[in-house]
Structure 1
Amino acid sequence: MKFKLASAAIAGLGLAISAVGVLPANASESPETADLRAWYEQVGVDDATANELITKINRGELPDSVEGALSPADVTISEENGWTVTRSTYPDGSVALTYLELPEAEGLPALASLNSTEAAIEPMSVGNCSSTEGGSGYASYYDCGVIESTDLITMSFRANYTRTSSGVGTISSAYSPYVYTNAGSAPTPTLTINRPSGTVSNPAQARAVTQFSGASGGFTAYLYLNVHGGSAWSSKSGW
């Protein structure tokens, strides 16, 4: 199953987020609920499921995508505008999206930077993901983005890393942490490189962590970049 990302306009190093398909909100709905509706529409969640999820969140329960107890019911992988996109759909219909930027991607995917109240928000950093290959069997990746987005929170950072034909992967730097929330708040993530070098059995790993707080509950959110010689991928835990 593929899904449609909303459009983003990029000029120079600045990001202009376009207004995209926000469902008409009821007059009695809060801005937070309107933001949730916009996010669900953007990632292709049908109206009936979106209403059920909004009701669940408003009564103080976390959706399966962040609650952490259940595995996805369905996982699909596709490539969208130079990003490898993994879409995980959970039993209650909530969705988690993982993005790993490929060299020369066509800008940023427009994710949770929707805001029905049109309040000013801090844009996700724009980079220029690129790679070089060496004759000694290595490929280095520079300024590449890692993103994870769910109903309630989107996190990202950028990183430089290397994959080698010997199976070893290294992460030399991680920077530009970003967070955006729906129906809650979270501080800017803290970044660490907890394993600068690794192999298939124990890959190199960079980690972003923040604490989400909202009416539906609180949780610690982790976003990881994992690298070994054969692959690089993002993962999450705690949400």
Structure 2
Amino acid sequence: MHVHRFGLLLAVLTACGPGGRADATDTASTTQPGTTAPTSSSSSSGDVAPTTTGDPGTTGTTTTGTSDEPVTITAVTDTTAVDTSTTGPIDPSTTTLAPKLDLPPEMPIPAKDIPGLKSITFYESTSGVMEFTFLVDGPELSTLLPDPLSNANRDIEGTSVEFYDVYYSDVDGVFDPLGSYLTIAGSFGAKLPAGGGLNLAEISLNFENNESEFGSFLASFVGLGDNYVAGSEVNAIDNDLATHTTMGNTVDTPGQRLRVTLGFKSSLMPG
């Protein structure tokens, strides 16, 4: 009888394991009521206490699985949020953009309609700077001369083989009596060693109050022949009468014209 009771006691102690603790592999880890499992942070400042959302029923951690599984931590961010109730798509009508001074706007005005404009001067440099001035409503600027240009069919004559037509145009130098641009185009009948033709220093808008305005935008151009100096086109808008374009010759291209087309702030950016 005593032996039987001793064997039963031995079996109970063996099932409880060492120290009378439950086997860690058999049950999930638990947290005492009223406490929160500690969390760790990778921040260099060390351990950080869990953050709560301010909701009494929400803690900063969630623990799942058994002690043999990794603990899953659900991060909780600060509930202080940016108010986006008034944030929406940008209304272009309320957005102010800086003007582009190097390009024309969408709705330029005809050059001849520039307020206060009286005449237009072309400064051509064949032998020194020569001025050729035409009234805003004159026939020269409002008419496209037919080819071939000659001494009897030209607006400007440089040398005896150099003739030019001046007119209102579009950005590509196409004749347009309501164009916002000014064009000088023509022919020069001499190749190297002669210097290239169409030597335009500037084009000037002349106003009734005696003020003037040089071109500010090189719209387009055509250079031809062996005495064309590429890159000289910008001299037509540098506000310097001592420099000029050198657009070449038309000896081998009689059906084409040398050309320089300029734009002006007063017509491209009115107001």
* TM-score under structure 1 length normalisation: 0.28
Structure with max Cα Rg: 2
Kindly indicate which of the two structures has a greater share of residues assigned to strand.
1
